[in-house]
Amino acid sequence: MSEEYSVEIVNPEKSFLSKNDVTEVVVPAFEGEIGILKDHISIISFLKPGIIKIFSKSGEESFYVNDGIIEFKDNNLSILTSLILNLKDIDKEKISEIQKSAEEELNKSDINDQEKYLLDQKLEVLKSIN
């Protein structure tokens, strides 16, 4: 039996990526990374800023996501995100830009703990990319 399933990544502007020969996807879920294989139980979870890794027959791809929500059902994985960047052709300047705005946000006084946690995560990931 094949070990492949399909994944679709959509952002508000368009369908970003659609693949149906995926063997494993690792997503940065809110409570830690989740690796999803075929026949995983139906799950809904949301993402923190981090790296999505997609393993397929044709190789491995990595994407940076800002936030998002995933839904896995009947061997279909949907990832909804507002900002996604392919690490292969990433723009250093763009990363620095996001990093800077995140830092500014972090310095504001009126953020709550969860926001702070997410921003810290974001900065960490961005730094590791840069």
Partner 1 sequence: MASLDDLKKRISSVKSTQKITKAMKMVAAAKLRRAQESAEKGRPYSDKMNNIILNLSNGISDIDNAPKLLSGTGEDKVHLCVVMTSDRGLCGGFNTNIIKKAKLYFQKILDEGKTLKIITVGTKGYDQLKRLYGDNIIERISFKESKNINYFDADKVGKIVIEKFEKKEFDVCAIFYNQFKNVITQIPQEQQIIPLKISEKDENSSEDNYEFEPEEDEILSNLLPKNISTQIFKAMLENSASEQGSRMSAMDNATRNAGEMVDKLTIEYNRSRQAAITKELIEIISGAESL
Beta bridge partners of 63: 52, 86
DSSP element (H, E) containing 92: helix 92-107
Query: Residue 39 CB: number of other CB atoms within 10 A?
Result: 11
Residue type, 104: E
Query: Residue 93 CB: number of other CB atoms within 10 A?
Result: 8
Q: Per-residue string for binding with partner 1, 11-50, x by CB under 8 A?
A: xxxxx-------------xxx--x------xxxxxx----
Nearer to partner 1, 74 or 93 (CB): 74
Q: At what angle do helices 92-107 and 113-129 cross, to 10 degrees?
A: 150
Residues 79-108 that bind partner 1 (CB under 8 A): 80, 82
Query: Considering only residues 20, 57, 60, 73, which one is a binding residue for partner 1 as defined by CB under 8 A?
Result: 73
Nearer to partner 1, 89 or 110 (CB): 110
Q: Could you list the residues that contact partner 1 (CB under 8 A)?
A: 8, 10-15, 29-31, 34, 41-46, 67, 69, 71, 73, 78, 80, 82
